[in-house]
């Protein structure tokens, strides 16, 4: 797939500095630029929109600022790569395998790779309770007008921080420019 158009912008939201936008902690907070991407494809060509905003993070959650969630397509690609590696490993060790595994290497590779891929994604846990391992803020929708962003929608993992963002940016929400899921 080919991304032919890249658009990036810096948002000018009022971000409340009260608590960590991920876990809600009140310790030493630091504002970290958080890039939020939206990629849309039409067959093989696509466009990428990157919006950046600074959000407060505690020391334990700072690493999640740039760690975007994998979509179903990325997880599918990881699964296919793990399947091919598992199949190669099973073929190379064919003589050492029990009969029921050696008799169906392909199905064994599918099952093994499903377990490995699911295990990988389920072990991605946050360092602090109440947070998320991935970005706590997600760009869910964006509409681009004449060379500017007409409207955009963000989703927050932390409901308390989302409520604080609603209060801080009420004028943008009332104008229909900004929406919080």
Provide the number of structural domains found in the chain. Answer: 2
At 172 the pLDDT is 93
56 shares its domain with 106: no
Could you read off the pLDDT of 147-159 as tens digits, one per residue?
A: 778 899 999 999 9
pTM of the entire predicted model:
0.77
Tell me, yes or no, whether 23 and 61 share the same domain: yes
Report how far apart, in Å, the C-alpha atoms of 175 and of each of 16, 25, 124, 151, 169 are.
20, 31, 38, 10, 10
Q: Return the bridge partners of 3, or none.
A: 46
In angstroms, the CA 136 to CA 151 distance is: 20
Residue 8 lies in a domain: yes
Residue 130 within any structural domain of the chain: no
My answer on whether 63 and 86 are in the same domain is: no
| pLDDT of res. 127 | 67
Is there a single domain that holds both residue 82 and residue 141? no
> Are residues 43 and 97 located together in one domain of the fold?
no
Structure tokens at 54: 């600074």
Does some domain include residue 129?
Answer: no
In a domain, 169, yes or no: yes
- Is 9 in the same domain as 58? yes
- Asked if residue 60 and residue 143 are part of one domain, the reply reads yes
Positions of the chain with pLDDT lower than 50, given as ranges: none
The string of pLDDT tens digits covering residues 97-111 is 888 888 899 999 999
Give the range of the structural domain holding residue 111, as residue numbers without chain letter. 73-122
- Kindly state whether residues 50 and 79 are assigned to the same domain: no
| Alpha-helical regions (H) of the chain | 72-92, 99-102, 105-122, 159-168, 170-174
Q: Is residue 128 part of a domain?
A: no
Domain assignment present for residue 127? The answer is no
Same domain, yes or no, for 53 and 78? no
107 in the same domain as 56: no
pLDDT at 3: 66
What does the mean pLDDT of the chain come to?
A: 89
């Amino acid at each position: 797939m080919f991304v032919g158009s890249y658009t990036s912008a810096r948002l000018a939201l009022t971000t409340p500095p009260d608590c960590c936008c991920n876990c809600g902690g009140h310790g030493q907070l630091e504002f970290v630029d958080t890039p939020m991407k939206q990629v849309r494809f039409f067959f093989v060509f696509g466009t990428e929109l990157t919006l950046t905003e600074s959000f407060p993070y505690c020391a334990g959650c700072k690493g999640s600022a740039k760690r975007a969630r994998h979509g179903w397509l990325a997880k599918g690609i990881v699964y296919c790569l793990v399947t091919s590696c598992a199949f190669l490993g099973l073929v190379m060790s064919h003589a050492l395998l029990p009969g029921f595994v050696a008799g169906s290497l392909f199905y064994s590779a599918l099952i093994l790779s499903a377990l490995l891929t699911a295990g990988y994604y389920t072990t991605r846990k946050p360092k602090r309770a109440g947070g998320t391992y991935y970005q706590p803020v997600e760009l869910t929708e964006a509409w681009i007008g004449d060379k500017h962003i007409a409207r955009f929608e963000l989703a927050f993992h932390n409901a308390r921080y989302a409520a604080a963002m609603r209060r801080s940016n009420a004028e943008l929400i009332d104008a229909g420019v900004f929406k919080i899921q």
